[in-house]
Amino acid sequence: MYILRYKLWLEKDGKAFGEGPYQLLAGILETGSLSNAAKKLNMSYSLAYNLIKKVEKNLGFPLIQSKSGGQGGGGSVLTPEALDLMEKYNGFLKESASALEKLFAKYFNS
Amino acid sequence: MYILRYKLWLEKDGKAFGEGPYQLLAGILETGSLSNAAKKLNMSYSLAYNLIKKVEKNLGFPLIQSKSGGQGGGGSVLTPEALDLMEKYNGFLKESASALEKLFAKYFNS
């Protein structure tokens, strides 16, 4: 009995957006800050910050905006472009997972 | 404009069958020997031999059989189990590629 494994990611000028950046953006959305998102993923703040900056450069648009002041003294919000990319990536990933599992069952576990 | 990238592979007790072993088996089928298949893939014979042995161990069945004598003095043929696995893997991969490209176009290039 086999198990299916796969990785899906996007490239743009040879660079990637995939599971890692997606999880980090989802963490910022959930926790309201890059430092809390990094903690949640057991990443150092500087690693998370550099990942965001690298992906922003590859994609050609900003992913996060600083939110100064207010309760807790700031944090980060996602840009509209980041939210749009996350929504597309998530939809693509879910439908792909379903399609792959069906094909896998057809060929290997039927 | 994004480009879709993906990797698909199978695991069995945590071990894998994927693109590398598939290409090596396809090379044996085409050239009639492990050494010619290894050359075709720019692998050393020992690397190719060890890969076959590792995958055979993971899968729990033999992939190749030695064919002694005859024209060219021997070579290797694939076992029925190897041919069956290749056929399934190839069918799965082709249908998966088609499904993923359609979903990718739906979410990212429409």
Does residue A103 lie in a domain region? yes
Does residue A100 lie in a domain region? yes
Report the percentage of chain B scoring pLDDT > 90.
83
Category of A57 on φ-ψ map: left (φ > 0), alpha (ψ -120 to 50) or beta: alpha
Report the percentage of chain B scoring pLDDT > 70.
94
Is the predicted pLDDT of residue B110 greater than 70, yes or no?
A: no
Q: In whole angstroms, what separates CA B67 from the centre of its chain?
A: 20
d(CA B92, CA A107): 6
Structure tokens at A84: 């749009």
Least Cα distance to A4 among A107, A92, A91 occurs for A107
Does residue A51 lie in a domain region? yes
Does residue A2 lie in a domain region? no
We report the CATH number of the domain holding residue B84 as 1.10.10.10
Instruction: Give SS3 for B94.
Output: helix
Number of separate domains in chain B: 1
d(CA B24, CA B60): 18
Does residue B8 lie in a domain region? no
Which range marks the domain in which residue A92 is found?
17-108
Instruction: List B residues 5-34 in contact with A (Cβ-Cβ < 8 A).
Output: 5-12, 16-17
Is the predicted pLDDT of residue A4 greater than 80, yes or no?
A: yes
Least CB–CB distance from B4: residue in A1, A10, A103: A10
pLDDT recorded at residue B1: 81
Q: Is the minimum CB–CB distance between B108 and chain A shorter than 8 Å?
A: yes
What is the tens place of the pLDDT at every residue in B41-92? Answer: 999 999 999 999 999 999 999 999 988 765 555 689 999 999 999 999 999 9
For range A53-61, the mean pLDDT? 93
pLDDT recorded at residue B109: 79
pTM of the model: 0.85
pLDDT recorded at residue B14: 74
Does residue A61 lie in a domain region? yes
Does residue A9 lie in a domain region? no
Least Cα distance to A9 among B2, B31, B36 occurs for B2
Does residue B3 lie in a domain region? no
